[in-house]
Each structure stands twice: as structure tokens, then as C-alpha cells.
């Protein structure tokens, strides 16, 4: 009899644990099965966002047009939940930084259609989440950072010259959210500290104080960043960085924090050989981990030191391509042949588009890494324009060293 009781107790306890603890892996599995964003974020135009939002509206989600861009495109805000804690999330104020827009759509779709799950019910009762996906629809249309006035909206928090910036401030001021999430993308070559590892996600608990003084609100955002970092660790260990929190009075993150809503910045980079959708999943996992921690209060117990221990972002350690020990022939200069490493970077483009590439460095580049590296010892490398120079096109012709080539030939490219 005693043994049976004991067994029941254990079973009951394990069921409790199962229903209460959602792990990062659970969130990732949910995204795998339930995500509604179907195209790569960089291909999502304003009309695609409208289609996503129309689908969400059909599920009963509250979505309003809250403003218009400089180019006259509608800007939307979705609202989910009925709770006292107000969470404000906005994405793509930089038009060519699209990952979070898709992740927010996936998050809203999941929350809206998962009311039967007890933990989602708790989120709904305790939080009200307002989401502005694609704050800069004109920039998104052109896949450019700035809006149609060519102003960087994230440097317009003080001057408020852009309709998009004015809208963001208005939405914040009217509602006074408890926490803000400012969602961006960073360069794919940003590294975790001085390592060659890509910073796939970088976090920042934004300081709202010019002197960088800490208060309870700032400490809370640090703890939430720790929660997200711990969740992401299980998926991208070693690829998480953080930004330094130097105060910028023109940036929205800093100013919204100063106005009373502590802001968390999430910057999505890239992970070599993983596509854009994987990055959407990482964002989805981070958001759910953060929101869940606000409701089950695990945020209050999280250790801010986990966030503090994340290495700062760095740049310049990593290139898109390095051709090692190439034998360089400069056709434009007689007899200019030498051996060197050549580093090339590609510009940010939409998935599927050819990204222009440029020579970044020439010489002994052993201390650096390339996402793709090629051993070019057995090849001649000829720049297509005839002279290998920093800043010129990264299009090269390669010739096996064993071949006898007439470098003066007019149709060299054909050979």
C-alpha cells in the first residue's frame, strides 16, 4: 500500500513538472509545428504582412491601423491578452531588418490559437501585448534601412521628423507600457567578442540614463535578457553577444527607456548555413521565454550576471570569403604577381538576390576567418577589372597554376 502511494506521488509530481516547465526546446518544437510565416522574412513586403494580419484577424485577434508611413502605407498594431502587465514590441524600424516581423506574426498566431494550454491562458490573463510589426513599411518595400525621407528612424527619437517615429512615440506615451522590445537585425559578420563566432543574437538591456545609472527597471530588463540568453543557449551556444549600453539620445531604445518604459533590444545576426527561417525560430523562442518568465515570475529569480557575462559584440574579425595564399596577377600592372590572402564581403540583400561583393583586405589575414574559406595556393587569382584593390568588386577569375596562360590575351575571361 505504502509503495503504491509513493509511486502515485512521484507520478503526480512528474506531471506537475511536465505541465509547468516549458523549455526552449518546447518553444522551438512549437515553432516547427505551428509557424504561419511561410516566406523568408527578407521577401515579406507590406502586402505580405497585410495577408498575415488578415489571417490573424480571422482568428479574432484585435488589429488596428494606427498610422501611416511617409509613403502612405498603413502601419498596424495588434493586441493580445487582457492582463495588467503591458508589453510593447515593435519591429523593422529599419526596413532591411525583417526577421522579427515574421517572428511576431508567428508568436501572435500561436498565442491566439492556443488558449487551451494552461500556460498560454496564464499569459493571456496576466499580460497585454501590443505589437507593431514593420514600423517602416516604405523601407521594407525597398529593403533599405531608412524611411522615404532617408532619415534613420532610430536616430529620430529627439527630432521626431518622421511620421513613423512620431507614431512610435505616441503609441508609447498613450499606453505607458511596462516593458518594450525593440527588434532589429545586425550585420551577419558581427562576432561574439574577439572570436570568429557570429553573434547570431545580441541582446541589450537599454540604459535610459545618460550617466548609465542603474535602477530597478533596468535590472529587470537585464534579468529578462538572462532568461532569453539561457533559453537561446540550448540552441546557439556561443553565438550570443550583447551591445554596450552607451547612451544615445537620438535612439528610440534609449529615449523610450528614459520616458519610463525600459527597453530590451534584440539584434538578430546570422548563423552560417542556417537560413532566415531558423532566425525567426530563435526570435520566437526568445519572445516566449521572456513572456513566460514575466508570468511565472521566474524573471524575478533570474540572475542578471548571466546577461552581464555575455561578451560584447565586435566587428572586423570575420569576412564572408577568404581566399588563402592566392597567386595574384594584376593585369593592369606589368609583372605584378604575388601571393596573399584576399578577403571579400558581400552586401546585405534579400534572400535569392545576388549580393554585390567587395574586396575588404589583402595580405596576411591568418588572424581572421572567413565564413567560407578557399585554399587558392594552386590558383592564379585575377580581379575581373584587372587590378586587385580594396573596395573594388569581389568578382575574380581563377586559373590553375599548372596552365600556361597568356595574360595579354584579349579574351582572357573565356580561357
Q: Where along the sequence are the contacts to Zn ion (CB under 5 A)?
A: 94, 97, 184
Residue with cell 529615449: 255
Q: Which is nearer to Zn ion, 85 or 161 (CB)?
A: 161
Q: Which is nearer to Zn ion, 98 or 394 (CB)?
A: 98
Measured N-to-C along each axis, helices 163-175 and 252-259 cross at an angle, to the nearest 10 degrees, of 30
Cα separation of the two ends of the chain: 87
In three-state secondary structure terms, 387 is coil
CB of 80 within 8 A of CB of 133?
no
Q: Which is nearer to Zn ion, 279 or 344 (CB)?
A: 279
At its nearest, how many Å lie between Zn ion and the CB of residue 26?
30
At its nearest, how many Å lie between Zn ion and the CB of residue 165?
13
At its nearest, how many Å lie between Zn ion and the CB of residue 267?
7
CB of 138 within 8 A of CB of 70?
yes
At its nearest, how many Å lie between Zn ion and the CB of residue 407?
45
Q: Which is nearer to Zn ion, 94 or 130 (CB)?
A: 94
Q: Which is nearer to Zn ion, 97 or 178 (CB)?
A: 97
At its nearest, how many Å lie between Zn ion and the CB of residue 229?
20
CA distance 395 to 61: 49
CA distance 13 to 344: 56
166 burial (CB, 10 Å; 0-12 / 13-18 / 19+) is middle
Which residue number places its CB atom closest to Zn ion?
184
Contact partners, residue 127, CB within 8 Å, separation at least 6: 81, 83, 85, 86, 87, 291, 294, 295
At its nearest, how many Å lie between Zn ion and the CB of residue 131?
17
Amino acid at each position: 500500500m505504502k509503495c503504491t502511494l509513493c509511486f502515485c506521488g512521484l507520478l503526480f509530481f512528474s506531471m506537475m513538472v511536465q505541465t509547468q516547465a516549458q523549455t526552449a526546446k518546447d518553444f522551438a518544437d512549437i515553432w516547427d509545428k505551428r509557424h504561419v510565416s511561410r516566406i523568408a522574412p527578407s521577401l515579406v513586403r507590406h502586402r505580405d504582412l497585410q495577408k498575415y494580419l488578415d489571417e490573424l484577424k480571422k482568428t479574432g485577434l484585435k488589429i488596428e491601423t494606427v498610422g501611416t508611413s511617409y509613403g502612405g502605407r498603413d502601419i498596424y498594431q495588434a493586441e493580445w491578452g487582457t492582463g495588467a502587465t503591458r508589453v510593447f514590441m515593435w519591429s523593422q524600424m529599419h526596413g532591411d531588418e525583417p526577421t522579427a516581423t515574421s517572428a511576431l506574426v508567428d508568436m501572435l498566431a500561436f498565442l491566439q490559437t492556443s488558449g487551451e494550454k494552461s500556460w498560454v491562458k496564464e499569459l493571456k490573463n496576466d499580460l497585454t501585448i501590443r505589437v507593431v510589426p514593420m514600423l517602416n513599411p516604405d523601407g521594407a518595400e525597398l529593403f533599405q534601412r531608412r524611411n522615404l525621407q532617408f532619415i534613420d528612424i532610430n536616430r529620430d527619437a529627439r527630432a521626431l521628423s518622421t511620421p513613423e517615429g512620431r507614431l512610435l512615440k505616441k503609441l508609447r506615451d498613450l499606453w505607458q507600457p511596462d516593458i518594450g522590445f525593440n527588434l532589429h537585425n545586425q550585420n551577419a559578420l558581427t562576432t561574439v567578442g574577439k572570436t570568429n563566432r557570429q553573434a547570431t543574437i545580441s541582446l541589450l538591456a537599454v540604459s535610459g540614463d545618460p550617466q548609465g545609472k542603474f535602477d530597478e527597471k533596468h535590472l529587470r530588463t537585464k534579468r529578462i535578457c538572462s532568461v532569453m540568453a539561457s533559453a537561446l543557449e540550448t540552441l546557439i551556444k556561443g553565438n550570443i553577444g550583447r551591445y554596450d549600453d552607451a547612451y544615445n539620445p537620438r535612439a528610440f531604445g534609449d529615449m523610450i527607456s528614459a520616458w519610463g518604459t525600459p527597453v530590451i533590444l534584440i539584434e538578430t545576426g546570422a548563423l552560417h548555413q542556417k537560413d532566415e527561417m531558423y532566425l525567426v525560430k530563435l526570435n520566437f523562442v526568445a519572445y516566449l521565454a521572456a513572456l513566460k518568465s514575466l508570468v511565472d515570475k521566474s524573471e524575478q529569480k533570474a540572475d542578471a550576471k548571466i546577461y552581464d557575462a555575455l561578451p560584447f559584440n565586435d566587428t572586423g574579425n570575420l569576412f564572408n570569403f577568404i581566399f588563402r595564399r592566392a597567386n595574384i596577377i594584376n593585369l593592369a600592372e606589368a609583372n605584378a604577381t604575388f601571393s596573399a590572402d584576399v578577403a571579400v564581403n558581400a552586401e546585405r540583400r534579400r534572400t535569392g538576390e545576388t549580393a554585390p561583393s567587395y574586396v575588404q583586405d589583402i595580405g596576411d589575414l591568418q588572424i581572421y576567418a572567413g565564413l567560407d574559406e578557399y585554399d587558392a595556393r594552386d590558383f592564379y587569382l585575377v580581379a575581373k577589372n584587372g587590378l586587385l584593390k580594396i573596395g573594388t568588386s569581389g568578382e575574380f577569375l581563377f586559373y590553375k597554376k599548372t596552365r600556361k596562360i597568356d595574360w595579354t590575351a584579349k579574351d582572357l575571361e573565356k580561357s
